[in-house]
Amino acid sequence: MAERVQIFQGVRAYGDEVIHGCFSKVGVGRLKGLVSTTTTFIFFFFLLIAALLNRMDIRGTSIGQSIFDSRTSKTYHERIEFPLNCSNSVNLPQTCPENYPSVFQPQESSARTCPDYFRWIHQDLKQWKSSGITEDMIERGKPSADFRLVIVNGKAYVEKYNKPYQTRDVFTIWGILQLLRLYPGKVPDLDLLFYSGDKTMIMKRDYKGLNATSPPPAFHYCGEKAALDIVFPDWTFWGWAEVNIKPWEETLRAIKKGRERIKWEKREPYAYWKGNPYVAKDRVDLLKCNLSDKNDWNVRIYKQDWGKESQQGFKHSKLEDQCTHRYTYAILLLME
């Protein structure tokens, strides 16, 4: 795989974003130089997926066993927890200590066969396999990005370009900082762009033809066949504060407990969906399937008014309280 060096120098015109407290110090202005390659991206992907599996603790379940390839060693890594021990002062900014391990030292050998699905990492980066990722690609990708993330010597630096919806960028960066805590000294130096909107941005059709330029590498929560966006875990994995959704690990525990309240055979024998229908055409169309005087499609649709719910303290939107029907209706939003 060819490797092109890309250098990120000095302070950009967009300013220096510094986040204090549990984010330690995140800023671009202090950065002097950076070397990043497609090989680095692959290694970063590997660590990120491993960290997510560690956080969800699914390896001992049937789900975890089905995820890992049969060739994988049965020796599981010990679950690693780095408590934050942050201050809880009401009158002072929240701060966290910096005395965390600087080197990752697992108790057992980490030599094992990668899960089969890791091949998709290479698929996501296939577009840049021969050309590598250059400084010019990064610069041209800025208009499509909300922020730029740089990691140097285990520290994260962020340069913001646009204001993302709500706090998606904050929780995404928070997740990356947890990765740095979980694997100290193992996350390589890297430089990447990130877009936090709902629709894909880097479309294949825009980079075809004799005079086409190379596409910029942009990480994103979404992907599709017609796009080159590099898929990254959804920000809600680390929490969605605006709608009172906790990190997935806590939410999973709450749902497991909530589902025990009503046995499956005693639940309402219908498919269930609850949410804001006015953010996508597919959701509006779903309302037509609800119970009416003419039809009963065995579906029960409930509108969620998040503004009203916020004022009432989110008493009627907890996911763990929604295990009341036998089936859950999932909506797949297709990008046109």
284 and 155 fall within a common domain: no
Looking at every residue in the chain, the average pLDDT score rounds to: 75
177 and 305 fall within a common domain: no
Summarised one tens digit per residue, pLDDT across range 305-328 is 999 999 999 988 999 999 999 988
87 and 179 fall within a common domain: yes
Residue 71 belongs to some domain of the structure: yes
Residue 14 belongs to some domain of the structure: no
209 — pLDDT class (breaks 50, 70, 90)? confident
Last residue of a domain, one of 217, 238, 259: 238
262 and 131 fall within a common domain: no
Q: What is the pLDDT of residue 142?
A: 93
Domain that includes residue 146, residue range: 21-238
Residue 335 belongs to some domain of the structure: no
Contact 249/175 with Cβ under 8 angstroms? Answer: no
Residue 10 belongs to some domain of the structure: no
63 and 137 fall within a common domain: yes
Last residue of a domain, one of 207, 238, 269: 238
Domain count, the chain: 2
210 and 315 fall within a common domain: no
DSSP symbols for 164-233: -STTHHHHHHHHHHHHHHHSTTTSPPEEEEE--SSS---BGGGG-STTPPPPP-EEES---TTB-PEE--
288 and 196 fall within a common domain: no
Summarised one tens digit per residue, pLDDT across range 55-99 is 544 333 333 333 333 344 444 445 555 555 666 666 777 666 667
200 and 56 fall within a common domain: yes
Whether the CA torsion 306, 309, 313, 315 is positive or negative: it is negative
Residue 257 belongs to some domain of the structure: yes
Q: How far apart are CA 144 and CA 155, in angstroms?
A: 24
Last residue of a domain, one of 204, 220, 238: 238
Residue 307 belongs to some domain of the structure: yes
Residue 11 belongs to some domain of the structure: no
Of 55-69, 193-207, 282-296, 307-321, minimum mean pLDDT range? 55-69
Q: How far apart are CA 309 and CA 47, in angstroms?
A: 37
291 and 142 fall within a common domain: no
31 and 131 fall within a common domain: yes
82 and 228 fall within a common domain: yes
Residue 152 belongs to some domain of the structure: yes
Q: What pTM was estimated for this model as a whole?
A: 0.69
161 and 180 fall within a common domain: yes
